Structure 1
């Protein structure tokens, strides 16, 4: 929202320190979305805040389609990422190209051609266990959150096959039943698909719409796990974290970002005086592969693996 200058200050600083150029897309006051503009498929019992969130994402998707933008990364206003995000994305691109069997092909996008969505920031997203398929595995990645810190157990992928399993592995795969959208990329084709689906077919809450695109519309979606973008929660009043819902709870004494080891937003003081003595600390120094870094980690090169449906062991999840 334009009035959330606190979030804009923080995001502008984080992007500047990461060398990311971006533009704002204003949030939408759901109470000002006219009833005539809401698709007939939408549940009218949803809150105005949810309508506003949905319309804000739809406005961005409409812009991509109208201006023929070939691909775009969309981030929520509370998004955070690792200080090594660009190296992570290079490695992620190796994975997406491998899965789409384009690793030795000249493509227009560094992530390969033909994808609809790259779900790079989520709470969790399952994998499809009923088919034989390709995965990309980066082993002993110092920026990967260990399994003991994974959240949303209902949405975690089943990584029990021996070639996928590992405490500090990051896996690229085709997501299923994803949740949250701290960061996601759409190709022009993907934007057209989701705009048509949301405007005419089955409008719903934004992250569920992205999940529908990836899980039910026979599209090409790819995701990393652990995720590359997380949700930042500042210290202080927990309700400052969202304009859509009331979070509640006690005052937060310490800021945090889920799923991100070397958080950009938690290391502003260390990143501003860039120099040889820059030390970036892990959020969980006793549980991650490294306790700290100088901000220029080398991400290990991953490998492609083939997993058959018979290799998965039972992976119980809460109902």
Structure 2
């Protein structure tokens, strides 16, 4: 929201120290969305706060479509990321090219998804970079991109959302500090996601025109699961963008939900090892390294900002027979 200058301040600093340039788009007061503008199929019983959140995302997607932006990354106002994000994204680009080259596609598109020189390829709609978790498809043979012994991958002891964890039991994927890239299903949360122009067109049509509207992250889940219009999603696990919760009163956490009454002694960021926001004092103070959230559990205790080298990954192939039973709540 425009009046949450506290969130804009924090996000501006985090982006600046990691070399990102960001543009703020105003949040939406759902009570001001006229009934005529609510799409057919909008779930009954959802409150105005949820409607406003959905419309804010639609406005961002509409901007991509209207201005013919080849691709864009959309982040929530409480997003946080690893200090190595640019190096992570360079490797993620290699991963998307690998997945696109080997996975069957039903996109049958004639309009380009991105500019021809996009590092992420030209046959994708959504890169689900920030999530609570995304499952993988266990019923087919498929390619993955594996980044083994990744010091920025949250250790398995700290994995959250058991319902949303992928099955990484096949031998090519298994490892305490491994990160994989794949085509996801049943994802949840949308701390950060990228859309190609093709994907923005398809998602805006699906949500605003077709009658399939759903609460924001449920919309991404639905379109990745069902692949209407040939929609194509690619995601990492563990996530590359998490959500930050500042120290102090929990009432400041959200403009969508009432979280008053609690107090947080220490700031936290979910699923990010070398959190940018949690290390701001070290970075701004000129320290040469940042610290992990989980000493004793992470692969490395600290990351050197000058000499740290992000690992290279490789493509692997997994046959459906290789998945072992992996118990999760439904």
Superposition TM-score tier, normalisation by shorter sequence: over 0.9
Match of 2:169 among 150, 156, 160: 160
Which runs of 5 or more residues in structure 2 are unaligned?
103-114
The answer on 1:240 being equivalent to 2:249 is no
State how far apart, in whole Å, the 1-side matches of 2:215 and 2:261 are.
Answer: 24
State how far apart, in whole Å, the 2-side matches of 1:313 and 1:135 are.
Answer: 17
CA RMSD of aligned residues (A): 1.3
State how far apart, in whole Å, the 1-side matches of 2:325 and 2:288 are.
Answer: 44
- Counterpart secondary structure, 1:95: helix
State how far apart, in whole Å, the 1-side matches of 2:305 and 2:35 are.
Answer: 49
Aligned residue in 2 for 1:55: 55
State how far apart, in whole Å, the 2-side matches of 1:138 and 1:300 are.
Answer: 7
How many Å apart are 1:246 and its aligned residue?
2.1
State how far apart, in whole Å, the 1-side matches of 2:325 and 2:83 are.
Answer: 35
Query: Number of matched residues?
Result: 314
How many Å apart are 1:248 and its aligned residue?
5.1
Q: Would the aligned equivalents of 2:251 and 2:262 in 1 still touch at CA under 8 Å?
A: no
CA spacing shift, 1:270–1:212, aligned 2, 3 Å: same
How many Å apart are 1:215 and its aligned residue?
1.2
Match of 2:150 among 141, 155, 158: 141
Aligned residue in 2 for 1:294: 304
State how far apart, in whole Å, the 1-side matches of 2:325 and 2:187 are.
Answer: 20
How many Å apart are 1:145 and its aligned residue?
0.2
State how far apart, in whole Å, the 2-side matches of 1:40 and 1:53 are.
Answer: 17
- Counterpart secondary structure, 1:8: helix
More off after superposition, 239-248 vs 141-150 = 239-248
Aligned residue in 2 for 1:14: 14
The answer on 1:267 being equivalent to 2:279 is yes
Aligned residue in 1 for 2:201: 192
Q: TM-score, normalised by structure 1?
A: 0.96
State how far apart, in whole Å, the 2-side matches of 1:12 and 1:125 are.
Answer: 28
- Counterpart secondary structure, 2:234: strand
How many Å apart are 1:278 and its aligned residue?
1.7
What is the correspondence of 1:1-319 to structure 2 with a 5 Å cutoff? 1-101=1-101, 107-201=116-210, 202-217=212-227, 218-247=230-259, 250-274=262-286, 277-296=287-306, 297-319=308-330
- Counterpart secondary structure, 2:101: coil
State how far apart, in whole Å, the 1-side matches of 2:262 and 2:205 are.
Answer: 42
1:186-236 alpha-carbon deviations (Å, 9 max, x no partner): 000000001101112211101111112211124211000000000000011
4+ aligned runs moved over 3 Å, structure 1: 247-250
State how far apart, in whole Å, the 2-side matches of 1:107 and 1:199 are.
Answer: 28
